[in-house]
Amino acid sequence: SRFETCWPALMKDSHGVIIIFNPELPSHLKEIEMWYSCFVQQQALLDSQCLLVAHHKPGSAGDTENLSLAYPLNKLKLIHSNLEEDPEDVRMEFMKYFRSIITLINESREREEMSIIS
């Protein structure tokens, strides 16, 4: 893609990756594997640092709610966002995700400080 040259800058020191996709587009399902590989696996981020968001457009077919993703994507936290029906749910999930990332950052900072001291 034409933005690939920017990826290293985007990835540098990142603590989390949120991948938003349209579950109704088969091409998106293939693309998220590539995004996961580049932005999560190659950066040695934990799966818990990645959040998948299946975004449903207004009036879209709801049968993608029971979306089954193949390995390794099926190990990731997957939320469905439908801002018409459930914006509050999505907000809560985002807050949970951000809290977990902050906890991870704080824990690794503490480990670094301890290793400097000892």
Residue extents of the structural domains in the chain? 4-117
The pLDDT, as a whole number, for residue 65 is 63
- Model confidence band, residue 26 (pLDDT cutoffs 50, 70, 90): confident
What the block records as the tokens of 13 is: 């020191």
CA distances from 95 to 12, 51, 65 (A): 23, 12, 21
Laid out side by side, the sheet with 17-21 consists of: 17-21, 50-55, 77-81
- Rounded to 10 degrees, the C-alpha dihedral 18/23/28/32 comes to 40
Q: What is the pLDDT of residues 31-65, one digit of tens each?
A: 999 999 999 999 889 999 999 999 988 877 655 56
Task: Write down the pTM of the prediction.
Answer: 0.82
Q: What is the pLDDT of residues 74-117, one digit of tens each?
A: 999 999 988 777 788 899 999 999 999 999 999 999 999 999 98
The pLDDT, as a whole number, for residue 92 is 94
Is the pLDDT assigned to residue 13 strictly greater than 60? Answer: yes
